[in-house]
Amino acid sequence: SSSSSSSSPPPVTHCEGEWAGEWGECTEACGDHGLKTRSFMVTKPASGGGNECEHLTDDIDATPCNRHRCPVNCAGKFSKWGRCSVECGGGARSRVYRVARGGVDGEQGVSRG
Per-residue pLDDT of 30-83, as tens digits, reads 999 999 999 999 999 999 999 999 999 999 999 999 999 898 888 889 989 988
What are the tens digits of pLDDT across the range 15-25?
Answer: 999 998 899 99
- Model pTM above 0.75: no
Residues sharing a CB contact under 8 Å with residue 6, sequence separation 6 or more, in sequence order: none
What are phi and psi for residue 4, nearest 5 degrees?
-80, -10
CA 83/CA 101 separation, integer angstroms: 27
What is the pairing mode between strands 97-101 and 75-78? antiparallel
* Amino acid at position 24, single letter: G
The strand pairing partners of 104, in sequence order, are 72
What are the tens digits of pLDDT across the range 83-111?
Answer: 888 888 888 889 988 888 776 654 444 44
Helix or strand holding residue 43 (H, E): strand 35-44
The strand pairing partners of 42, in sequence order, are 17
Residues constituting the chain: 113
